[in-house]
Structure 1
Amino acid sequence: MKKQGEILVVGLGSGSEDSLTQEARQAIEESDVIIGYKTYTALIANLTAGKKVISSGMRKEVDRCHQALDLAEAGCKVALVSSGDPGIYGMAGIMLEVAQKRNRHIPIRVVPGVTAASIAAAVLGAPLMHDFAVISLSDLLTPWEKIRLRLELCAQADLIICLYNPRSHGRTQQLTKAWQILSKYKKPETPVGIVKNAGRSDQKADLTDLGSMLSVDTDMSSVIIIGNESTYIAHGKMITPRGYVL
């Protein structure tokens, strides 16, 4: 009888040993094949010795899902790895869509990971203690007009706003546009925390405010957390009160 294949969509957190959950580690160890973006497969090289590893570059996400599905149909247990949490801007949705599009019924299990917002928040202190929104500034797959509307409404609602993908070599103006929108509704002294390479060995964190936010160097690996009207900075920590009487 042919062996039943399976796909495990695995979240790697930041990619460091410390942020890899036990469930994610076990999923990688029990898989026959590891598929992922080359940077992410390199981060877990110590866990993939003796396994088949298939790596590819940026914008090959759909191809990786097709490869995973083909290998699982051949009887392999495949770990499709994703940074952070695979269900938050990760590979889980793409994998499920590809399987549905091809009308395949291979078992697919999503293994959660620690998303960048959680890691960055922990580095900064406790900025996400109240209602917040996570918004990616990448307009590669989402029209800027829709991103703009989300920024407008979240800022008007005084949500804490966590920005992913703020800037890249090819996208230099989106963060400035976002800042202009947020500045209409949030005060210049609103605390802002910026964490670059959150959870990795070259992690860098900055505490600033909305008025000075654009002066801090950011790139695709940066997470920006903009507080609400109650957020403050004390003793080097960014804190959003939950509302308890102390």
Structure 2
Amino acid sequence: MSGKLFIIGTGPGNPRQMTPEARDAAAQATDFFGYGPYLDRLELAEGQRRHVSDNREELARAGAALDMAASGRTVAVVSGGDPGVFAMAAAVCEAVEAGPPEWRAIDLEIVPGVTAMLAVAARAGAPLGHDFCAISLSDNLKPWELIVKRLEAAASAGFVIALYNPISRARPWQLGKAFECLRTILPGTTPVIFGRAAGRPDERIDVSSLAEADPAKADMATCVIIGSPDTRIVERPGQQPLVYSPRFAEART
């Protein structure tokens, strides 16, 4: 008899940002598969078991979770943020497509969550108030040349751009190269938001212009939001400025 597989997200890191639906799913599961720091965000009950794996072992993790669910257990695969945004939902779907027939019979439920760009945007104002896109700067699963093409296309079309995985020890140069690329297309005054650990005690929200944006302000806990030419900064005496993208946009040639 096939079991149940939940794919849940813990949100950006603040326990209050994990949705009630995700908490309900976690309460039903007997076994949890995920990257250690994400599993650490859960308060598991007696009898609930953790199965920890490295952050680069997504397909192996998905396969192990599917095997256990196929045996009849209720299993949760855990991501940070929203499981469908640069996270485990895609890996599980990929594994199901390539895997044995019994994996397709599993009762699979993907539970939506709060992704990092939403938490950062809420802290800054409303930078995602008009059309936007999300791009991962990681070239682990796609070539850097494709990332550059997507950055150029998004900036040229006037999208606000949320950058995930902006920098790491293995990729210390890519955010700087992304800024260089965008400076050839966007005005230097375009707002850039560095949102680190939004909602957590070590949160840091920093707003600068594209011309002055310093890649050193980012790490892997940072989501970077780059405005469009229409994005505005509203200064507020004694308070953090509001960054927002107006609900209207004019045609450009």
* C-alpha distance in structure 2 between counterparts of 1:48 and 1:221, whole Å: 28
Query: Residue 200 of structure 2 corresponds to which residue in structure 1?
Result: 200
Query: Residue 75 of structure 2 corresponds to which residue in structure 1?
Result: 78
Query: Residue 189 of structure 2 corresponds to which residue in structure 1?
Result: 189
Contact 1:62 1:94 in 2 (8 A): yes
Question: Could you list the per-position Cα deviations for residues 147-197 of structure 1 after superposition, in whole angstroms to 9, with x for gaps in the alignment?
Answer: 010001111112111111111111011111111110011111111111011
Query: Residue 240 of structure 1 corresponds to which residue in structure 2?
Result: 245
The structural deviation recorded for 1:16 is 2.1
* C-alpha distance in structure 1 between counterparts of 2:124 and 2:148, whole Å: 26
Amino acid at match of 2:199: G
1:52-71 counterparts in 2 under 5 A?
A: 52-71=49-68
Amino acid at match of 2:124: L
Amino acid at match of 2:55: M
SS of residue paired to 2:96 = helix
Query: Residue 96 of structure 1 corresponds to which residue in structure 2?
Result: 93
After the TM superposition, which parts of structure 1 deviate over 3 Å for at least 4 consecutive aligned residues? none
* C-alpha distance in structure 2 between counterparts of 1:140 and 1:240, whole Å: 31
* C-alpha distance in structure 2 between counterparts of 1:49 and 1:191, whole Å: 48
* C-alpha distance in structure 1 between counterparts of 2:88 and 2:14, whole Å: 19
SS of residue paired to 1:62 = helix
Query: Residue 15 of structure 1 corresponds to which residue in structure 2?
Result: 13
Query: Residue 209 of structure 1 corresponds to which residue in structure 2?
Result: 209
* C-alpha distance in structure 2 between counterparts of 1:112 and 1:153, whole Å: 28
Name which of 13, 29, 32 aligns with 2:30: 32
Aligned residues: 241
Q: Which sections of structure 1, spanning at least 5 residues, go unmatched? A: none
Q: Which sections of structure 2, spanning at least 5 residues, go unmatched? A: none
* C-alpha distance in structure 1 between counterparts of 2:76 and 2:3, whole Å: 11
**Aligned-pair RMSD on alpha carbons?**
1.4
* C-alpha distance in structure 2 between counterparts of 1:31 and 1:58, whole Å: 21
* C-alpha distance in structure 1 between counterparts of 2:76 and 2:37, whole Å: 15
The structural deviation recorded for 1:74 is 1.4
1:30-179 counterparts in 2 under 5 A?
A: 30-44=28-42, 46-102=43-99, 103=101, 104=103, 105-179=105-179
Contact 1:34 1:48 in 2 (8 A): no
Contact 2:10 2:81 in 1 (8 A): yes
* C-alpha distance in structure 2 between counterparts of 1:19 and 1:101, whole Å: 33
TM-score normalized by structure 1? 0.94
Amino acid at match of 2:97: Q
Contact 1:87 1:112 in 2 (8 A): yes
The structural deviation recorded for 1:101 is 1.1
* C-alpha distance in structure 2 between counterparts of 1:238 and 1:9, whole Å: 33
Q: Which moved more, 1:193-202 or 1:235-244?
A: 235-244
The structural deviation recorded for 1:47 is 3.5
* C-alpha distance in structure 2 between counterparts of 1:220 and 1:6, whole Å: 32
Contact 1:7 1:106 in 2 (8 A): yes
Contact 1:9 1:92 in 2 (8 A): yes
Amino acid at match of 1:222: T
Question: Could you list the per-position Cα deviations for residues 13-32 of structure 1 after superposition, in whole angstroms to 9, with x for gaps in the alignment?
Answer: 11321110010000000111
* C-alpha distance in structure 1 between counterparts of 2:49 and 2:161, whole Å: 40
The structural deviation recorded for 1:215 is 5.6
Contact 2:164 2:224 in 1 (8 A): yes
Question: How many percent identity over aligned positions?
Answer: 39
* C-alpha distance in structure 1 between counterparts of 2:55 and 2:225, whole Å: 25
Change (3 A) 1:195 1:48: farther
The structural deviation recorded for 1:55 is 1.1
Q: Which moved more, 1:75-84 or 1:230-239?
A: 230-239
* C-alpha distance in structure 2 between counterparts of 1:221 and 1:162, whole Å: 14
* C-alpha distance in structure 2 between counterparts of 1:156 and 1:48, whole Å: 50
